């Protein structure tokens, strides 16, 4: 990828513990990251087999510009989601991108299932399949501590691992990356757990010379100053995303108590400002990002008298404060930090966990389930109950908890309460209730994430967008983000990496791309994603948005299901029209658009 005209792909089969590699020239046009990842995923996925089948692949694909420019730090993982049964796509930062960049592998495809617990040690020279029996069953924190001692290369390696939730294949188990970051959503932890892979250590020991130093240094400096010294990323320098809590609550867009309301009376206690003043002790950054948006709180608690305290460092941001705060009616920062600590150690996705807990509390309140199922009292505002539920959820204590561990669509099919199950398109919703843009954005987004197309931000546009403008903006934004996800910029720096900057950055390191080529890439990825989703059985359906989100007024007022379905139909129509009109790229006849890949080994 870097200084080369091909993508170096490492294939790992954990069943028979073999590896092979391919230098794929045909993938070079997909730049890297999401583009390369989705192509490899489409080639290797097995549409007819269940998500946790050993033959299903996990693909990691490094971004074209990862670690080369500031704030380009993410690595996408692609897999079949055990939570939704369709496309699983998740991004993580910290040190994994850097380590992978210098491991010499642009993409890694893992298939198979080991006989028993293992961990992988991936180096430029190959892969060691190491016995993982001693770290299986340990928390995400303890297993990493041991691996830090076992594996060499401090500062240049990345250690990713699952917690016990992943081992037990809870459908929304995550993978912890180094510390504080995760492939959080859609259950990659369960997929690795099903393959008996407890951890992956990537060693970044290789190096690449700079070909054109003056051009590269100049563009780097410009981007560094744009990001550090201008307004474009001010928000992330300061309070971080938790700064959204109060503004969202004020406009009625903060889902509260299982989204029974859009504003939380205790928002001030759990705001970014309150965390910053009382709990924030430091910020840290993903490798290669000068912002440092990972806000770390000190969670101090007394465990005995007299004055016996313990303390832990917990990272927080808006989504976690929403999921474990407003959504559960918890107005104490200590309670939120306690729940975050729990999911961090067990390796559960925080957003899905919070939304699932919120549904449980309401179902309990309404009598759909009782203490017979939950084994404890679960009420909004009661930390103790929620904490116990998380424990049972991770353990799969009884039939109810095993169903709950498969996500809301599954548990509601058995126990009812679909109308207040806050999942959109099968995935538990993110912390915004802003209007049609948010609902539609999460439903039509390829991974049902608010980050697919930023519908929540479009809802806040002034003057408001009409339906057609909204649909077109959602589509355009999603395709542009497809391009940015090939470079793997952190989407927080979206405003800094506009098209001109992207082209300049690519050109300075010898990866020139025209606007037409980038347009083509965004469109092509969109089409592959939908091809993959449909092959895996996904059908877009307006009913995959619960009644609750229409009953509770949003920032844009009360939403009407009929109008929503009309906008959805419009989205489908415009999308279909565009898909037919796939723009070819001038002067580049070698761009593949499907079919069998050319492989140069």
Partner 1 sequence: MGEEGSKNKIVTKEEGPAVAQKKEGDKKRRPRVLMAPGMNRCIACYSCMLACARMVYRSYSIHKSAIKILTRGGYTSKFVANICRACIDPPCARACCVKALVPREGGGIRYHRDRCIGCRKCAEACVVQVIDFDEEEKKAIICIQCGNCASFCPHECLTMEISPHAEMNKPGGAFPTKELESPSPERRNPNDLIHDGN
Cβ proximity to partner 1: between 44 and 205 the closer is 205
| Cα–Cα dist 454/98, whole Å | 27
Least distance to partner 1 from the beta carbon of 154, Å?
6
| Cα–Cα dist 578/585, whole Å | 15
Part of the chain binding partner 1 (CB under 8 A), chosen from 122-130, 215-223, 448-456, 536-544: 215-223
Run of H or E residues at 311: strand 308-316
Residue 488, both tokens: 């793997």
Least distance to partner 1 from the beta carbon of 243, Å?
6
Least distance to partner 1 from the beta carbon of 180, Å?
6
* Nearest to 238, CA basis, from 319, 298, 323, 295: 295
Least distance to partner 1 from the beta carbon of 179, Å?
4
* Nearest to 493, CA basis, from 297, 234, 136: 234
| Residues between 117 and 176 with contacts to partner 1, criterion CB under 8 A | 144-145, 148, 154-156
Least distance to partner 1 from the beta carbon of 347, Å?
16
Cβ proximity to partner 1: between 291 and 320 the closer is 291
Place of tokens 């069943």: 15
Rule CB under 8 A: say whether 499 interacts with partner 1: no
Residue 129, both tokens: 């399949």
Task: Give me the 398-427 binding string for partner 1, x by CB under 8 A, dash otherwise.
Answer: ------------------------------
Cβ proximity to partner 1: between 231 and 600 the closer is 231
Choice from 237, 472, 533, 566 touching partner 1 (CB under 8 A)? 237
Choice from 60, 180, 380, 436 touching partner 1 (CB under 8 A)? 180
For 179, half-sphere exposure in the C-beta direction (CA atoms, 13 angstrom radius) is 17
| Cα–Cα dist 305/301, whole Å | 11
DSSP states of 365-430 as a string? HHTSS-HHHHSS---TT-HHHHHHHHHHHHHT-SHHHHHHTT-HHHHHHHH--GGG--EETTEE--
Choice from 47, 133, 234, 599 touching partner 1 (CB under 8 A)? 234
The stretches of 45-130 forming alpha helices (DSSP H) are 96-101
Choice from 54, 85, 134, 238 touching partner 1 (CB under 8 A)? 238
Residue 393, both tokens: 């959820």
Least distance to partner 1 from the beta carbon of 492, Å?
14
Cβ proximity to partner 1: between 76 and 204 the closer is 204
| Residues between 79 and 118 with contacts to partner 1, criterion CB under 8 A | 94, 98, 101-102
Cβ proximity to partner 1: between 475 and 490 the closer is 490
Least distance to partner 1 from the beta carbon of 290, Å?
4
| Cα–Cα dist 458/469, whole Å | 10
| Residues between 543 and 582 with contacts to partner 1, criterion CB under 8 A | none
Cβ proximity to partner 1: between 89 and 106 the closer is 106
Cβ proximity to partner 1: between 65 and 355 the closer is 65
Query: In terms of C-beta density within 10 A (0-12 exposed, 13-18 middle, 19 or more buried), how is residue 495 classed?
Result: middle
| Cα–Cα dist 380/208, whole Å | 54
Non-local (6+) Cβ contacts of 567 within 8 A are: 436, 440, 467, 470, 471
Least distance to partner 1 from the beta carbon of 337, Å?
14
Rule CB under 8 A: say whether 232 interacts with partner 1: no
Residue 198, both tokens: 């407890």
| Cα–Cα dist 437/595, whole Å | 35
Cβ proximity to partner 1: between 20 and 148 the closer is 148
| Residues between 348 and 387 with contacts to partner 1, criterion CB under 8 A | none
Least distance to partner 1 from the beta carbon of 462, Å?
20
Choice from 139, 222, 228, 387 touching partner 1 (CB under 8 A)? 228
Place of tokens 């609550």: 249
Query: In terms of C-beta density within 10 A (0-12 exposed, 13-18 middle, 19 or more buried), how is residue 21 classed?
Result: middle
Residue 167, both tokens: 């081992």
Least distance to partner 1 from the beta carbon of 520, Å?
27
Least distance to partner 1 from the beta carbon of 472, Å?
31
Least distance to partner 1 from the beta carbon of 234, Å?
6
Place of tokens 């806040």: 460
Choice from 19, 124, 146, 210 touching partner 1 (CB under 8 A)? 210
Least distance to partner 1 from the beta carbon of 434, Å?
20
| Residues between 263 and 322 with contacts to partner 1, criterion CB under 8 A | 273, 276-277, 282-292, 294, 313
Choice from 2, 80, 248, 378 touching partner 1 (CB under 8 A)? 2
- Phi and psi of 44, rounded to 5°? -105, -15
Number of residues in contact with partner 1 under rule CB under 8 A: 52
| Residues between 11 and 70 with contacts to partner 1, criterion CB under 8 A | 67-68, 70
Cβ proximity to partner 1: between 73 and 485 the closer is 73
| Cα–Cα dist 439/544, whole Å | 10
Dihedral-angle region of residue 49 (phi above 0 means left; psi in -120 to 50 means alpha; beta otherwise): beta
Distances from the Cα of 467 to the Cα of 422, 458, 568, angstroms? 24, 11, 10
Least distance to partner 1 from the beta carbon of 333, Å?
16
Distances from the Cα of 591 to the Cα of 279, 442, 517, angstroms? 52, 31, 10
Choice from 26, 42, 178, 317 touching partner 1 (CB under 8 A)? 178
Least distance to partner 1 from the beta carbon of 362, Å?
34
Rule CB under 8 A: say whether 213 interacts with partner 1: yes
Cβ proximity to partner 1: between 236 and 520 the closer is 236
DSSP states of 142-208 as a string? HHHHHHHHHS--TTTEEEEEE-HHHHTT-TTB-EEETTTEEE-TT-HHHHHHHTTEEEEEEE-----
Extract the runs of DSSP E, i.e. beta strands, from 254-383: 280-284, 294-304, 308-316
Part of the chain binding partner 1 (CB under 8 A), chosen from 10-18, 227-235, 398-406, 539-547: 227-235
Contacting positions for partner 1 (CB under 8 A): 2, 67-68, 70, 94, 98, 101-102, 144-145, 148, 154-156, 178-180, 204-210, 213, 216-217, 220, 224, 228, 234-235, 237-239, 243, 273, 276-277, 282-292, 294, 313
């Amino acid at each position: 990828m870097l200084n080369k005209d091909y993508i170096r792909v490492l294939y790992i089969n954990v069943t028979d513990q073999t590896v092979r590699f391919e230098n794929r020239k045909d993938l070079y046009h997909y730049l890297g990251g999401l583009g390369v990842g989705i192509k490899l995923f489409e080639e290797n996925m097995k549409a007819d087999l269940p998500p946790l089948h050993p033959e299903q692949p996990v693909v990691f694909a490094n971004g074209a510009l990862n670690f080369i420019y500031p704030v380009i730090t993410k690595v996408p993982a692609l897999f079949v989601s055990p939570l939704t049964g369709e496309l699983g796509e998740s991004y993580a930062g910290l040190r994994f991108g850097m380590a992978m960049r210098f491991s010499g592998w642009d993409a890694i495809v893992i298939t198979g299932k080991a006989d028993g617990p293992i961990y992988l040690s991936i180096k430029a020279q190959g892969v060691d399949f190491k016995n993982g029996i001693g770290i299986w069953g340990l928390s995400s924190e303890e297993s990493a501590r041991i691996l830090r001692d076992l594996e060499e290369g401090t500062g240049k390696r990345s250690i990713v691992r699952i917690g016990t939730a992943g081992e037990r294949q809870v459908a929304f188990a995550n993978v912890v990356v180094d510390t504080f970051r995760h492939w959080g959503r859609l259950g990659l932890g369960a997929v690795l757990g099903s393959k008996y892979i407890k951890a992956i250590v990537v060693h970044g020991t290789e190096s690449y010379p700079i070909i054109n130093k003056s051009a590269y240094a100049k563009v780097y400096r410009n981007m560094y100053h744009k990001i550090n010294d201008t307004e474009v990323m001010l928000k992330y320098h300061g309070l971080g995303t938790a700064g959204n809590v109060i503004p969202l609550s004020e406009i009625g867009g903060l889902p509260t108590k299982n989204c029974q309301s859009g504003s939380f009376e205790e928002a001030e206690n759990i705001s970014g400002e309150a965390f910053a003043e009382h709990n924030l002790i430091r910020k840290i950054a993903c490798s290669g990002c000068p912002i440092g948006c990972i806000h770390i709180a000190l969670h101090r608690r007394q465990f005995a008298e007299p004055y016996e305290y313990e303390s832990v460092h917990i990272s927080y941001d808006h989504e976690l404060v929403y999921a474990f705060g407003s959504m559960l009616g918890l107005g104490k920062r200590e309670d939120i930090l306690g729940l975050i600590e729990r999911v961090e150690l067990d390796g559960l996705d925080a957003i899905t966990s919070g939304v699932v807990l919120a549904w449980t509390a309401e179902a309990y309140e309404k009598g759909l389930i009782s203490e017979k199922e939950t084994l404890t009292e679960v009420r909004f505002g009661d930390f103790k109950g929620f904490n116990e539920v998380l424990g049972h959820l991770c353990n799969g204590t009884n039939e109810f908890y095993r169903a709950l561990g498969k996500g809301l669509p599954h548990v509601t099919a058995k126990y009812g309460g679909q109308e207040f199950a806050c999942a959109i398109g099968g995935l538990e919703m993110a912390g915004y209730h802003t209007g049609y843009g948010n609902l539609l954005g999460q439903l039509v987004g390829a991974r049902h994430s608010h980050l697919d197309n930023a519908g929540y931000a479009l809802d806040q546009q002034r003057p408001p967008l009409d339906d057609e403008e909204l649909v077109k903006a959602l589509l355009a934004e999603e395709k542009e983000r497809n391009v940015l996800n090939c470079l793997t910029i952190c989407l927080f720096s979206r405003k800094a990496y506009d098209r001109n900057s992207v082209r300049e950055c690519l050109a300075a390191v010898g990866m020139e791309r025209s606007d037409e080529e980038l347009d083509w890439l965004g469109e092509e990825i969109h089409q592959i994603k939908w091809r993959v989703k449909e092959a895996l059985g996904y059908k877009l359906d307006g009913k995959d948005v619960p009644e609750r989100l229409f009953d509770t007024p949003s920032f844009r007022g009360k939403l009407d299901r009929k109008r929503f379905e009309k906008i959805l139909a419009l989205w489908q129509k415009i999308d279909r029209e565009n898909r037919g009109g796939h723009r070819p790229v001038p002067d580049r006849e070698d761009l593949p658009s499907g079919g069998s890949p050319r492989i140069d080994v």
